[in-house]
Each structure stands twice: as structure tokens, then as C-alpha cells.
Amino acid sequence: MSPLPRSLLPDTATVDAGGALSIGGCDVGELAAEHGTPLFVYDEAHVRARCREAVAAFGPGRVVYATKAFLCRAMARLAHEEGMLLDVASGGELHVVTAAGVPAEACTFHGNNKSVDELRAAVTLGVRNVVVDGFDELDRLDALHAGGLPVPDVLLRVTPGVHAHTHEYVATGQDDSKFGFNLANGDAAAAVARAQRSPAVRLVGLHCHIGSNVFAAGSFARATEVMATFAATYDLPQLVLGGGLGVAYVAGEDAPTITEWAAAVLGACDELGVTADVSVEPGRSIVAAAAVTVYTVGAVKVIPGVRTYVAVDGGMSDNPRPVLYGSGYEAFLPRATGADRPLAARVVGKHCESGDVLLFDARLPADLAVGDLLAVPVTGAYGHSMGSNYNKVPRPPVLFVHDGEARIVVRRETYDDLLATDVG
């Protein structure tokens, strides 16, 4: 019934007397009229504010933006300008970041199955750190070194045996994980010993990441404790405690701020007497709440006594999270941002399957009609970045809005783009 909580909108969102939403000084209805829908609108000031908060809380050089959450060249430059390092988890992410002009020395290279080519590119370009995920990767680094490659500074990713309270698909700190060297079975200690005597790598620290969209500060404190205790044996200069801070997606959710997260992590480090440089890798908490996705309603189907379906012009191709994880979102009409939402409906996309759901149980204004714009807030992380071309639907553009100016940082895909890699 109740209106959309304003706290779910980007920082610079304003609503005029008639209920119309502006972000970054730009009227959302006008943006949709000019650029079409679906459309990702990012509040640049919001992203910068979260970067600054993180750098202020953890210290310069100690915050690594996880580009998997949202990446394009403008985003890479923005994060770099704001004093963040960048976490890349594939050769492709490294390519986009360096194509943006960000130096490889500002990048940390991740991944649980880095190919020889990816490792060669990362080391040749001179990334700041390679985060080694397993023994096979140490073998590959040995071989590359034997082939004449320089010696990279590496961190070892440790699986601390801490089960974060989050969706099973994004929990990564438990023993049963594809990521990292297990602490419990001695693999982590064996990996440290091997790396320390290897001529192919320079071991500079340890890394862990317990999962994503974690709300419980206690999970971070617990992982910090386990990692600090293990790291104390080795006296290495760096300790990286991953990303994972959750954000509020729907009414009633309340996530810690970046500053509160820092207090939990750094407080635990202080208590444990950690002397290493402690850094973190936030993705979601930097960009999620900065963006809204704007769609157009194309069909309303009422099945009396069963359900109302509201179909929009995007769907699981621009936001697979509801289908993958059952993630919840809110929706509203940007022409009536603060309106009551008595209409219960399922918001679906335009893809050819029943699983194509954006909001399983949406609440919307009663006067919603075909042709209305419908917006979903908190779509700035893992939406665009996990998008697809399912049904050959072109991907939406990304706009950065700031001080009344909107700039296209990723243009809308065309039908010809769909043929760009199709060599016939």
C-alpha cells in the first residue's frame, strides 16, 4: 500500500510537487522520452559519494572497487579518479579497465580459474597484485616464470570457513566452495609455504571474501578474526578482506553503511593487533543504489481471482537477479513517485519464458496504465553487468546524470550489434 521509501532512491533524487522524479537534476520522464526504454540511469554524485566514503573510512589505496558489479570505461575512470584501486576478475574486465586509461598497476587480478593467457596478460601489463586461487594457478605461474615472465606480487585467497548469511550462490567463505585455499584442511598453510619458496611469485599478503550482500557485521568481524589469526603466523604486508557489504533493496531492509562496515572490520583488526595494511573490495555498496532502471509498461493482464501481470519492455536480460536468486525489488511510477501503491501485481519482462520475472510481488499505484514508465530502484549493481541478449533483445543504454546533464556512457545496442560476432 505504502509509497516507495525515499531511502531507496539515489542521493540526488528529487520529487516535484506533481510527483515527478528527477535524478542528478534530470527529469526521468524526459530522459526516457529522449533515450527510450529500458534505460539505466546512474546518479554520478551518488557513486562518487560512496567511493569517497569508502576511501575516507578505510584509507587511500585501501579500497578496491569490484568492477564485476558494474563496469564500463566511464565507471573505471570514475573509481580511479576517486582514489580507488580496481578489482578485475577476468581478462575482459582488465581489458575494459585499461582501455579506460586506468593503469594496470591500479588493478588486482582475481578469478578462480585464470587461464594462462589471462595470467600472462595480467603479469605482462603489470597488475598490482594477482590473487592466486589454487594450486593449479601456482603451477601456471611457475610455467610462465620459466618462460621469462616477471615475478608478480601475489596474494593467496583463503577460504576461512565462515558461512556468511546470504544467498547460497553468493556465499563464498564456507569450506565447501570453489574459491580459494581451505584453511581448515591445511591447504592455505601449504600454499603459503609453497609461495614463500617459489621463485615465480612474491607473496605479499592474504585475501578472503566471504560472500556478497551480507548484512551482518558479525560475519565480517568473524572472518577478520579468522584471517588475522592465520595471517599473524606469517607477518605479510597486506591483508585483503574482500567485499560483500549488503544494501537495502526493499522497504524495511536496513544495511550497515560503508562507514559502519569499516568500523566493524577495522575495529576487529585493532583488537587483534593486525599490523598489515588492511584493504577491502566493495562492489555492490558503491553502485547498487546509485541507479534506477526505467521501463515502459506494454501490457497489463488481469486474471480475476488469480493475479495481475504488468509486462515491461525489458526483463531478465537486464536484471537476472530475481530469477537467479529470488531477489526482491520495489517498483514505482516516476510520474507519481510518492503515490500509494495499492495494486498487487507481478512485474514481468518480454522474454519467452514464465520465469522472466522482475518483481514477484510488486505494489503499484492503482492508476497504472499501458504506456506508463515504470522504474525499479537499486539496480546499479549486477544488473547491467549480468545482462544478456536473450531473445536477441538489445541491451539498454547507461546514462550518467549529474547537475542537470545526462551523458550516455554506454549506448543502446542496435540490431546490427546483434550480428557483430555472427560471421555467417
Instruction: Give min distance, CB of 87 to ligand LLP, in A.
Output: 6
Q: Which is nearer to ligand LLP, 212 or 224 (CB)?
A: 212
Residue of 78, 108, 158 lying closest to 409 (CA atoms)? 78
Query: What grid cell was written down for 261?
Result: 562496515
Instruction: Give min distance, CB of 161 to ligand LLP, in A.
Output: 16
If binding is defined by CB under 6 A, does position 50 make contact with ligand LLP? Answer: no
Note if the bond before 10 is cis, omega within 30 degrees: no
Query: What grid cell was written down for 329?
Result: 525489488
The CA-to-CA distance between both ends of the chain, in Å, stands at: 52
Instruction: Give min distance, CB of 209 to ligand LLP, in A.
Output: 4
Phi, psi of 102 (to 5 degrees): -80, 130
Instruction: Give min distance, CB of 26 to ligand LLP, in A.
Output: 26
Binding mask 133-172 for ligand LLP (x = CB under 6 A): -------------------------------------x--
If binding is defined by CB under 6 A, does position 110 make contact with ligand LLP? Answer: yes
Query: What grid cell was written down for 335?
Result: 510520474
The window from 26-34, 119-127, 215-223, 236-244 that contacts ligand LLP (CB under 6 A) reads 236-244
Q: Which is nearer to ligand LLP, 26 or 278 (CB)?
A: 278
Query: What grid cell was written down for 80?
Result: 580511479
Is 26 labeled as catalytic in the residue annotation? no
C-alpha distance from residue 69 to each of 286, 302, 355 (Å): 9, 36, 23
d(CA 105, CA 3): 46
If binding is defined by CB under 6 A, does position 281 make contact with ligand LLP? Answer: yes
| CA-based max dimension of the chain | 71
Q: Which is nearer to ligand LLP, 241 or 294 (CB)?
A: 241
If binding is defined by CB under 6 A, does position 261 make contact with ligand LLP? Answer: no
If binding is defined by CB under 6 A, does position 244 make contact with ligand LLP? Answer: yes
Task: Let me know: does 79 contact 51? Beta carbons within 8 Å.
Answer: yes
Query: What grid cell was written down for 36?
Result: 527510450
Instruction: Give min distance, CB of 244 to ligand LLP, in A.
Output: 4
Per rule CB under 6 A, count of chain residues that contact ligand LLP: 21
Binding mask 199-218 for ligand LLP (x = CB under 6 A): ----------x--xx-----
Q: Which is nearer to ligand LLP, 212 or 296 (CB)?
A: 212
Pairing of strands 107-109, 85-88: parallel
Among 321, 335, 341, 402, binds ligand LLP (CB under 6 A): 321
Note if the bond before 152 is cis, omega within 30 degrees: no
Among 87, 133, 313, 330, binds ligand LLP (CB under 6 A): 87
Q: Which residues pair with 107 in a beta bridge?
A: 86
The window from 55-63, 277-285, 361-369, 387-395 that contacts ligand LLP (CB under 6 A) reads 277-285
**Which helix (H) or strand (E) is 146 found in, with range?**
helix 135-146
If binding is defined by CB under 6 A, does position 285 make contact with ligand LLP? Answer: yes
Question: 161-185 burial string, b = 16+ CB within 10 Å, else e?
Answer: bbbbebeeebbbbbeebebbbbbee
Q: Which of residues 379-408 bind ligand LLP (CB under 6 A)?
A: 382, 386
Q: Which is nearer to ligand LLP, 23 or 258 (CB)?
A: 258
Q: Which residues pair with 26 in a beta bridge?
A: 23
Phi, psi of 160 (to 5 degrees): -80, -5
Q: Which of residues 51-80 bind ligand LLP (CB under 6 A)?
A: 66, 68-69
Among 26, 51, 269, 352, the active-site one is 352
If binding is defined by CB under 6 A, does position 245 make contact with ligand LLP? Answer: yes
- 12 CA to centre of own chain: 21
Catalytic residues: 352
Report the interface residues with ligand LLP, using CB under 6 A: 66, 68-69, 87, 110, 170, 209, 212-213, 242-245, 281-285, 321, 382, 386
